[in-house]
Amino acid sequence: MGVLLGLLAGVTYGAADFIGGLASRRSSTLSVVVISQLSGLVVLLLLLPVLPAATPSQSDLIWGLLAGLGGAAGITLLYRGLAIGRMSLVSPITAVVAAIVPLAAGLVARERPSVPALIGVAIALVAVVLISTTEMPGEPASNAAPGLVGSPGLRNTAGAVRTWWLQPGLIEAVLSGIGIGIFYVLIAHTSRHAGLWPLACSRSASMGILVVLALVSKRSLAPQRDSVAAIIFAGIIDMLANALFLVATRFGLLSIVAVLASLYPASTVLLARIVLNEKLSKLQLAGVACALVAIGLISAGS
């Protein structure tokens, strides 16, 4: 169940990124991110009273709040990295680091995946890099949303530095991955009895930071009218992905679930192929093949 839910979380994250990306072609990324996150929070708060009874402890709510702070820091750093660097560099590094952090945390906590599952994890990390080698459509609205901070003109400086470890956006990508990975780790610390209440705390914390960032940057949050429905839909799907991830960690190993969730770029590029008829590069096709092999190994090993 943990493997299945983790995989569904990755597919749903990718779908949310794709829909939010289409919306951000019409509206500013800032408005897409803030409104989508707000819509997801509103839907969650409306559903909480009708979901099975939950009894979150104070520590569950605190873990959720801290997770939201980590996630917001990760998103903000990712925005900065993608504003000054190349998506083909920043996006895969962020996704891989975001997977490695909970993987390491799980192993430190004495999780012991089987050998086939660990081989699948290694192949999955390679798949993330390969799938992310080409810029994805639009600007995603959840864990991989670019474009909030910095001037688009700064992107041109990325090619000025030839040494890969000095590329603009690299440090931000690593720190962003750590922040998002911390979100995965902290939200997984909540108990089963907490239900989805920790997500409400998490989203409230990240929303607060993003709104403050919007006020400081003095950017408009008003979206184009024809993109409102897509933004709201993206936010709802993104919250669903978070819920799937949280529940998955309660059935499976964090080290496995987080890696499966990090395969979300595969969902994004496949939707781009189906909906927008965008061609996949040979490296991306190889990445999708690696992802399928990884999923098989992880499932068999679990």
Question: pLDDT tens track of the chain, all 302 residues?
Answer: 788 898 899 889 888 878 877 777 777 767 777 888 899 999 999 998 888 888 889 999 999 999 999 988 887 787 677 667 666 667 778 888 888 888 888 888 888 888 888 888 888 888 888 887 655 444 444 444 433 444 444 444 444 444 555 677 788 888 988 998 999 999 999 998 999 999 999 999 988 888 888 788 777 777 788 888 888 998 899 899 999 999 999 888 888 888 888 888 788 778 878 887 777 788 888 888 888 888 888 877 66
Query: For residue 174, what pLDDT is reported?
Result: 87
CA 70 to chain CA centroid, nearest Å: 12
Helix (H) or strand (E) holding 216: helix 197-217
Give the residue from 247, 253, 257 showing the smallest Cα distance to 191. 247
Cα angle 128, 133, 138; round to 5: 100
Q: How many domains does the chain have?
A: 1
Query: For residue 270, what pLDDT is reported?
Result: 82
Give exposure, 219-240, as e/b (b: 16+ Cβ within 10 Å). bebebeeebbebbbbbbbbbbb
Query: For residue 190, what pLDDT is reported?
Result: 92
Q: 152: burial class by Cβ within 10 Å (0-12, 13-18, 19+)?
A: exposed
Give, in order, the Cα–Cα distances in Å from 43 to each of 5, 69, 78, 192, 200. Answer: 20, 21, 26, 21, 10
CA atoms within 13 A on the CB side of 175: 13
Query: For residue 227, what pLDDT is reported?
Result: 80
Query: For residue 166, what pLDDT is reported?
Result: 64
Alpha-carbon gap, residue 262 to 64, rounded angstroms: 20
Range of the domain at 192: 2-301
Query: For residue 67, what pLDDT is reported?
Result: 93
CA 239 to chain CA centroid, nearest Å: 11
Structure tokens at 198: 């920790």
Tell me, yes or no, if the pTM score tops 0.95. Answer: no
CA atoms within 13 A on the CB side of 102: 34
Give the residue from 67, 13, 89, 109 showing the smallest Cα distance to 205. 67
